[in-house]
Amino acid sequence: MSDYTLSASAISRLVRSGDVKAVDSVSSAFTRIEQVEPRVDAFLHLDRAGAMAAAEAVDRMVASGADPGPLAGVPVAVKDNIATPDLPTSCASRILKNYVPPYSAAVVERLRSAGAVIVGKTNMDEFAMGSSCENSAFKPTRNPHDLSRIPGGSSGGSAAAVASAMVPVSLGSDTGGSIRQPAALTGTVGFKPTYGRVSRYGLIAFGSSLDQIGPFSRTVEDCALLMKVISGRDPRDSTCSSTAVPDFLSFLNDGVRSLRIGLPAEYFIDGMQPEVEKSVRAAAEVFTSLGARTLDISLPHTRFAVAVYYVVATAEASSNLARYDGVHYGYRTPEAVGLVDLYQKTRRDGFGDEVKRRIMLGTFALSSGYSEAYYKKALQVRSLMKRDFDLAFQDVDVIIAPTTPTTAFRIGEKINDPLSMYLSDVFTISANLATIPAVSLPCGLDSSGLPIGIQIMAPPFREDLVLKAAASLERALGIAPLTADP
């Protein structure tokens, strides 16, 4: 098999029917990786031997008449903050360089049980802190549509691997937009589930009340397929919900007739790229032509989203990253004299500038005399933001908005301007704070040929509405999967 543009759904059907061997599917992926990866730099670790062994196991199951699962023989890439016991999980950080966990993340177990073949671990902003994939300790990843531009972050490697067809699907994590923002900038489909829909067991923590694992794909169908596989109760994650998981694939052809769609005024702001607003408003008109109703709505506390996020997320990061002290695992400075010196030099040398910046911000927000003024206040405003969405969803079924205010910017353009970089996530942060499901999918191109993404949000555990609306728009726009050939 040499068609690297096949969808995950198509690969699985062909492998399960015996028309294609899983080893050929995986071999095709590695051929494509060899061709493209030197220019894109999407991967930190590749495992050809392990992947081929897994593919051979799938082929043996097919030959014996057993069903290897809904992702049979599908090559998958996994973000490098998701635990894999046979591959390093470094979080793109020197402090965890070459660290191999002793266990699998829940989503990795579910992928493999479904017949998927993990080909490697993808690059990311260190500890998922960034919006451009430039904060990796090892290398930046490039946007396959224009190698001079960023792919978004923090899951930039996972997005770039799918956008360039090195794999049909991948997994990322989304704390403030780290799946949806790179999906928009690379022309892929990126899904952030409801908080609690997918187990976080084995996801190395950044912001524990915000982190979510979700898929990248080139089609909404593949997105729904991966969501079906990775969703569901996991007793090892106390925040993972026992809410029943529907067959997400069954909603894709339902259409949007009579669906009420909200357009929030706060997401169409001064300073955003005019082509982005034009494409999203055109998509709203497409929904109307399909029988949906669009209504203007307000989410008044949206203006506080960036401030609230960068207090809550950094406070949680400060706590979560305290464990990296050079004592139990990971990097340990060879120069220490005494315990305090060990802590200081290990963290100085092991963490990059952005991680240090967020740890310091979070430590300050939690410090005595300031936690009431900053952290507690941020949590209170977060509650108000969630209430905005709850009230809006009394009048509408889904909300649509731009995913990002601009298309992909150039590598190095914002790396020395943290505030400007933080504003790249201005439209995605709110869904994490409100714990609701959201997807980004392509809705057009700008004058430079760069992808534009539209975001669709729904009430908690209504992934079916998100996917139904996304599939309808995908069909109506007729945009073929945007496979970049860098």
- Domain at 15, CATH number: 3.90.1300.10
Which DSSP string do the residues of 84-133 spell out, in sequence order? -TTS---TT-GGGTT---SS--HHHHHHHHTT-EEEEEE--SGGG--SSS
- What is d(CA 261, CA 461) in angstroms, rounded to the nearest whole number? 17
Give CA separation, 285 vs 85, 96, 281, in Å.
Answer: 48, 48, 6
| 178 counts as catalytic | yes
Mean pLDDT, to the nearest integer, of 51-59? 98
User: Catalytic: which of 25, 131, 178, 241?
Assistant: 178
Q: What is the pLDDT of residue 376?
A: 96
Which DSSP string do the residues of 400-412 spell out, in sequence order? EEES-SSSPPBTT
| 79 counts as catalytic | yes
- In this structure, is residue 401 part of a structural domain? no
What is the band of 2 on the pLDDT scale with cuts at 50, 70, 90?
A: low
User: Catalytic: which of 25, 154, 241, 318?
Assistant: 154
Residue 317 tokens, joined: 């990061």
Mean pLDDT, to the nearest integer, of 88-98? 97
- What is d(CA 29, CA 218) in angstroms, rounded to the nearest whole number? 15
Across all residues in the chain, what is the average pLDDT? 96
The enclosing H or E element of 262 equals strand 260-264
Between 210 and 335, residue with greater pLDDT: 210
Backbone angles phi, psi at 426, to 5 degrees: -60, -30
Q: Say which residue the tokens 């029917």 belong to.
A: 17
User: Catalytic: which of 21, 79, 228, 414?
Assistant: 79
- What is d(CA 428, CA 421) in angstroms, rounded to the nearest whole number? 13
Residue 421 tokens, joined: 């970089």
- In this structure, is residue 57 part of a structural domain? yes
- What is d(CA 286, CA 280) in angstroms, rounded to the nearest whole number? 10
Nearest by Cα to 126 from 138, 109, 116, 118? 138
Q: What is the pLDDT of residue 482?
A: 63
- What is d(CA 256, CA 288) in angstroms, rounded to the nearest whole number? 9
What is the Cα gyration radius of the chain?
21
What is the band of 480 on the pLDDT scale with cuts at 50, 70, 90?
A: low
- What is d(CA 127, CA 138) in angstroms, rounded to the nearest whole number? 13
Nearest by Cα to 235 from 192, 201, 194? 201
Mean pLDDT, to the nearest integer, of 377-403? 98
| Residue 173 preceded by cis peptide, ω within 30 | no
| Residue 154 preceded by cis peptide, ω within 30 | yes
Q: Specify the amino acid at residue 256.
A: V
- In this structure, is residue 301 part of a structural domain? no
Domain of residue 32 covers 8-254+437-477
Q: Specify the amino acid at residue 127.
A: F
Mean pLDDT, to the nearest integer, of 382-401? 98
Mean pLDDT, to the nearest integer, of 192-209? 98
Q: What is the pLDDT of residue 124?
A: 98
Chain segment 406-427, per-residue pLDDT in tens: 999 999 999 988 888 888 899 9
Q: What is the pLDDT of residue 368?
A: 86
Q: What is the pLDDT of residue 485?
A: 73
- In this structure, is residue 21 part of a structural domain? yes
- In this structure, is residue 413 part of a structural domain? no
- What is d(CA 427, CA 462) in angstroms, rounded to the nearest whole number? 20
- What is d(CA 170, CA 167) in angstroms, rounded to the nearest whole number? 7
The enclosing H or E element of 52 equals helix 48-64
- What is d(CA 327, CA 131) in angstroms, rounded to the nearest whole number? 30
- In this structure, is residue 193 part of a structural domain? yes
Strand stretches in 343-416, DSSP E: 398-402
Q: Is the pLDDT of residue 72 over 80?
A: yes
pTM: 0.96
Q: What is the pLDDT of residue 399?
A: 98
Q: What residues pair up with 143 in beta bridges, in sequence order? A: 146
Chain segment 252-277, per-residue pLDDT in tens: 999 999 999 999 999 999 889 999 99
Contact 177, 214 (CB under 8 A): no
Please list the helix, strand and coil fractions of the chain in percent, rounded to the nearest 5, in that order: 45, 15, 45
Backbone angles phi, psi at 234, to 5 degrees: -140, 115
Q: Report the domain count for the chain.
A: 1
Residue 53 CB coordination number (10 Å): 13
- In this structure, is residue 417 part of a structural domain? no
The enclosing H or E element of 451 equals strand 451-457
If you ran DSSP here, which 8-state letter would residue 164 be given? T
Q: Is the pLDDT of residue 385 over 60?
A: yes
Q: Is the dihedral of CA 154, 158, 163, 169 positive or negative?
A: negative
- In this structure, is residue 288 part of a structural domain? no
Residue 293 CB coordination number (10 Å): 15
